[in-house]
Each structure stands twice: as structure tokens, then as C-alpha cells.
Amino acid sequence: RRFGERLQQALTVIGGSKPKAALLQIDLDDFKAVNDTLGHGAGDTLLQLAAGRIRDALQDGESAYRYAGDEFAVIQLGKEQPAEAERLAG
């Protein structure tokens, strides 16, 4: 719910002639295999570690959300260069 509200807010903010925002979607590849082979406890730990790494990489104007099982999203506002989005993607 918070993700949807923040995304709507971001779309309103960038409604001008030169939008300055990025939406990054992050999916943990083969996450189901972790749960299936190591158990849900290991899967939960992996999700917490991933969320922590994403959170630690955030800068001003960025917010992160877990919106599905192994899927995260980062909303960046005020970013003018593609390299700003690539910093998190890399």
C-alpha cells in the first residue's frame, strides 16, 4: 500500500515537462530454490539481507519497498542522469 501511495506521489511530482525520476524493480533470481532447498528460515534471512543492502545503498530522494515475495522496488526522485539509477542497479 505504501509503495502505491509513494509511486502516485512520485508521478504527481514529475508531471512537469522534464520528469526527473526513476523506478527500479529488483527481483531475487531463483529465490524459490532457496526456500525449497534450505527452508523458509533461510529464505527469510536472505530477504532481510537483500532489504538491508538495498536500504544501505539509498541516498536522498530514494525510497525502497518490498512489494511481492522476492521483489523490491526503488523510487528515485530528482535524478537527472541515468547513472544515478544505474548506481543502484549495478
pLDDT score at 34: 95
Ordered by start, the domain boundaries in the chain are: 2-89
Fold of domain 2-89: Alpha-Beta Plaits (3.30.70)
CA distance 3 to 75: 9
Enumerate long-range contacts of 55-58, CB under 8 Å, 24 or more apart. Answer: 57/87, 57/88, 58/88
CA distance 23 to 45: 25
pLDDT in tens, the chain (90 residues): 788 887 777 777 776 656 677 888 999 999 999 999 999 999 999 999 999 999 998 988 888 999 889 999 998 887 666 566 666 666
Q: Which of 27, 30, 36, 70 is catalytic?
A: 70
| Backbone dihedral angles phi then psi of residue 31, each to the nearest 5 degrees | -60, -35
Angle between helices 31-38 and 40-57 (to 10 degrees): 140
Active site residue 56: no
